[in-house]
Amino acid sequence: MKLFLKKLSHFRFQLRFKVLFFLILYSIFFYYIRNNDTYNYRLLKASIDSIPWLYAAISQIFGVLAAFIVQKEWQRWDDLVDAVKGENSALYEMWLWSGQFQTDYPIRDLVKQYLNIIISEGWDKTEKGEVSPELDKVINSLHEGMAEIARLHPSMASAVFSLVSDLGACRERRIRFGSSKMPLILLQAFRLATCLMVFLCPLIVIKDYELHFLFSASISLLSYTIYIVARDMDRPLQPGGWHLTTRDYKKLLDKLEQ
């Protein structure tokens, strides 16, 4: 947990540094474009009526692409959170059931082992789409214990198997949504659209120097921020603005140990 908080603090520092570094670089770029005749800036001023319309078309494409990506990543985030909450809920239900029925399997101890493994391992395996061998052993034992409850109490078989199925489904969804990434071609298109928004913005001419810089820097910084947010949401298991922790598992473990 301390390591994760350290990574989160480092991420926040990196975010501030990225924004500041971007503004510095953009200011230099803007000054060069505005004051250097190499790009034939006078000709651009003569074409002032056409350039804003061309930039508006690029802006619309960028807006549609950004909205699509953010919406998909947001849905993935919600699905991942639901999977984690469902997994915790199923484990807690198993804990409660184990107190009502006697079996040869220490179900309560197995539930604690399940939680301890996830807390200790973190999201490394989930992010890679891998299955923990240690967790598999615990799950098999849980299945056998719940199957024994169903065998000793046939009237409860349907509810028992539904609970076991829910745990497995939530775990699979956690692994699937935690390891999925934005398609490379979509990521490259988003990067290209962001670069076009940033580098073409100074070509929209405003006679007043300060106003020109203010609007150009604002539009470019907003485009860059949207890109950072989308990339951050694409990595929900890494420290960032949107990141999933093992806090829910830790809270459940603390509750069971009281």
pLDDT tens track for 62-97: 999 999 999 999 899 899 999 999 999 999 988 887
* 220: pLDDT strictly greater than 70: yes
Predicted local confidence at residue 99, as pLDDT = 73
Taking only the tens place, the pLDDT of each residue in 228-250 is 888 888 888 877 666 788 889 99
Whether the predicted pLDDT of 200 surpasses 90: no
pLDDT of residue 67: 93
Residue 174 and residue 106: Cα distance in Å, rounded? Answer: 25
The confidence score (pLDDT) of residue 168 equals 87
Q: Give me the pLDDT at residue 242, please.
A: 66
Q: What is the pLDDT of residues 94-153, one digit of tens each?
A: 888 777 777 677 888 888 999 998 988 888 888 888 888 888 888 888 888 888 877 877
Q: Looking at per-residue confidence, does 10 or 123 come out higher? A: 123
Residue 9 banded pLDDT, cuts 50, 70, 90: low
pLDDT for 2 equals 47
For residue 77, give the 3-state DSSP assignment.
Answer: helix
Q: Give me the pLDDT at residue 241, please.
A: 64
- Residue 1 has a pLDDT of 46
H-assigned helices in the chain: 2-35, 41-46, 51-98, 107-121, 124-128, 133-152, 157-179, 184-200, 209-233, 247-257
The more confidently predicted of residues 153 and 220 is 220
Is pLDDT above 80 for 48?
Answer: no
Q: What is the pLDDT of residues 52-62, one digit of tens each?
A: 788 888 999 99
Q: What is the mean pLDDT of the chain?
A: 82
* pTM as predicted: 0.78
Task: Flag whether pLDDT at 174 surpasses 60.
Answer: yes
In whole angstroms, give the CA distance from residue 194 to residue 223: 6
| pLDDT for res 160 | 79
C-alpha–C-alpha distance, residues 86 and 201, integer Å: 46
CB-side exposure of 84: number of CA atoms within 13 Å?
Answer: 26
Q: In percent, how much of the chain has pLDDT > 70?
A: 86
**pLDDT of res. 219:** 92
CA distance 258 to 245: 22
